[in-house]
Amino acid sequence: MASAAEQLAANLNFGALAKADELKKRIWFTLGALIVYRLGTYIPLPGMNPDAVADLFKQTQSGVLGLFNMFSGGAVGRLAIFALAIMPYISASIIIQLLSSVVPTFEALKKEGEAGRKILNQYTRYLTLVLALFQAWGIGVGLQGSGNLVLEPGPFFLISTTITLVGGTMFLLWLGEQITSRGIGNGTSMIIFAGIIAEFPAQLAQTLELGRQGAISTGLLLLVMVMAVCVIAFVVFVERAQRRLLINYPKRQVGNRMYEGQTSFLPLKLNTAGVIPPIFASSLLLLPTTIASFSQASGGTGILATMATYLAHGRPLFMFLYAALIIFFCFFYTAIVFNPVETADNLKKHGGFMPGIRPGERTAEHIDRVLTRITVLGAAYLTIVCLIPEFMITYAQIPIILLGGTSLLIVVTTTMDTVAQVHGHLLAHQYEGLVKKAKLRGARR
């Protein structure tokens, strides 16, 4: 078995990729689907004034709209048919996960395996539709009340805008599912990844132009690029890091045969919460800025404008609250997605135990204690990764949104998942080839 694994690893190269026809089909399908998505980000909503839209977005791009514009690949700034992107689906998924932890019905479905997961996925789609309808209608109403953005405001514009935005979101949800089943990697992550990467060349060109004009020194540009490489390497290292808990399985007898005891590991990721904490923290902090920008565009001022001033990028209050919210959501979301009691019960049912720890409640307490400790490290890691780029972008005035903590995390983790998917398909293809060769040799003998 070990020699077969070594042989597979040795043969894992680009030559193997050329022979893997199924993998090449998946890659081409993924690329085609992402091209369709990118084309949709350039199709504007009907009835909009493009010049007024560009002016308004310049005033509000530092708020939550800038964050959503990053996730939508520029569709928000152009008010395209994919302006909502898949944000309603992400919100719906998080809500369903929350309900799975507190509502007995959803918790029971979660424990039913594949059948329960399909039902929960269907509930997620329904909730996505509801959230998309609510958000699309709100966007339509907001656009009508924001000056001269709409050429012909009225009920027809509201209805057409709502239908278009909801249709765009549901189409992207379907497209993401197709990428997941027929392409490579998680379709939702790939769509967000494609949107972020697509905006990078323009931002890089803008930064290089600032360097040419002398607004940014060459030494500073090189320093930022070196720091970006170091941060990416740090993200890759931590995302691969695991705390493995030793699990022993005793000897068991099946019929007249006695099977030896086995040893395995329970892997606990250092960053269990993923990119959810930075996304939530950014959204909450940028919301007052966005509302204040719309208020100023309509001629109003007040407490929101004062809050937006203190919560602007680079301000000490913004940095402090950003770090605090990231840490809070790290612990909050980890508690939702990982249940130590359920894990301990599953180990006990299958006869597994941790050396020196009694099965059941003591095992759950041990897992919870270890998970809390590594979550502290994971929260510190996310805070560092998100704050360092914020300092560089704010104080060095380098407008590369890809260097932001949230976008950088999404790009790096999605790339790692995609590479793992490609390796998995290559290993499966080469393993099938080895099996066929072994069968041919057996038939000749």
Which of 170-184, 264-278, 384-398 has the lowest average pLDDT? 384-398
pLDDT digit string, tens, across residues 17-63: 666 777 888 889 999 999 999 998 888 888 877 777 777 666 655 55
Q: Are residues 290 and 360 in the same domain?
A: yes
What's the CATH code of the domain at 403?
1.10.3370.10
CB 246 within 8 A of CB 265: yes
Residue 78 pLDDT exceeds 60: yes
Q: Are residues 88 and 233 in the same domain?
A: no
For the chain, how many structural domains are there in total?
2
Average pLDDT over residues 359-378: 89
Q: Are residues 303 and 388 in the same domain?
A: yes
Is residue 42 a part of any domain in this protein?
A: yes
Q: Where a domain ends, among 171, 201, 231?
A: 201
The 10 Å Cβ neighbour count of residue 422 is 18
Rounded to an integer, what distance in angstroms lies between the CA atom of residue 362 and that of residue 134? 46
Choice between 408 and 74, residue whose per-residue pLDDT is larger: 408
Give the three-class secondary structure for 41.
coil
Residue 260 pLDDT exceeds 60: yes
Q: Are residues 321 and 383 in the same domain?
A: yes
- Position 13 scores a pLDDT of 53
Is residue 242 a part of any domain in this protein?
A: yes
- Position 9 scores a pLDDT of 45
Rounded to an integer, what distance in angstroms lies between the CA atom of residue 84 and that of residue 325? 24
Q: Are residues 229 and 180 in the same domain?
A: no
CA–CA–CA angle 176, 182, 185 (5° rounding): 60
Give the three-class secondary structure for 233.
helix
Q: Are residues 190 and 287 in the same domain?
A: no
- Position 290 scores a pLDDT of 60
Q: Are residues 187 and 222 in the same domain?
A: no
Rounded to an integer, what distance in angstroms lies between the CA atom of residue 429 and that of residue 420? 14
Rounded to an integer, what distance in angstroms lies between the CA atom of residue 348 and that of residue 356? 14
Q: Where a domain ends, among 155, 178, 201?
A: 201
Is residue 13 a part of any domain in this protein?
A: no
| Percent with pLDDT over 70 in the chain | 76
Place 399 in a pLDDT band, splitting at 50, 70 and 90: low
CA–CA–CA angle 303, 305, 306 (5° rounding): 65
Average pLDDT over residues 415-437: 73
- Position 329 scores a pLDDT of 87
- Position 254 scores a pLDDT of 59
Is residue 289 a part of any domain in this protein?
A: yes
Q: Are residues 281 and 396 in the same domain?
A: yes
Q: Are residues 188 and 242 in the same domain?
A: no
Spacing of C-alpha 183 from chain mean position: 17
Place 167 in a pLDDT band, splitting at 50, 70 and 90: very high
Task: Give residue 87's domain range.
Answer: 21-201
- Position 3 scores a pLDDT of 42
Choice between 200 and 403, residue whose per-residue pLDDT is larger: 200
pLDDT digit string, tens, across residues 280-316: 887 777 666 666 655 555 554 566 666 667 666 667 7
Is residue 5 a part of any domain in this protein?
A: no
- Position 65 scores a pLDDT of 62
Q: Are residues 165 and 45 in the same domain?
A: yes
Q: Which helix (H) or strand (E) holds 43?
A: none
Is residue 9 a part of any domain in this protein?
A: no
Q: Are residues 343 and 194 in the same domain?
A: no
Rounded to an integer, what distance in angstroms lies between the CA atom of residue 187 and that of residue 181? 8
Q: Are residues 230 and 106 in the same domain?
A: no
Choice between 191 and 141, residue whose per-residue pLDDT is larger: 191
Is residue 40 a part of any domain in this protein?
A: yes
Taking all residues of the chain, what is their mean pLDDT, rounded to a whole number?
Answer: 78
Is residue 321 a part of any domain in this protein?
A: yes
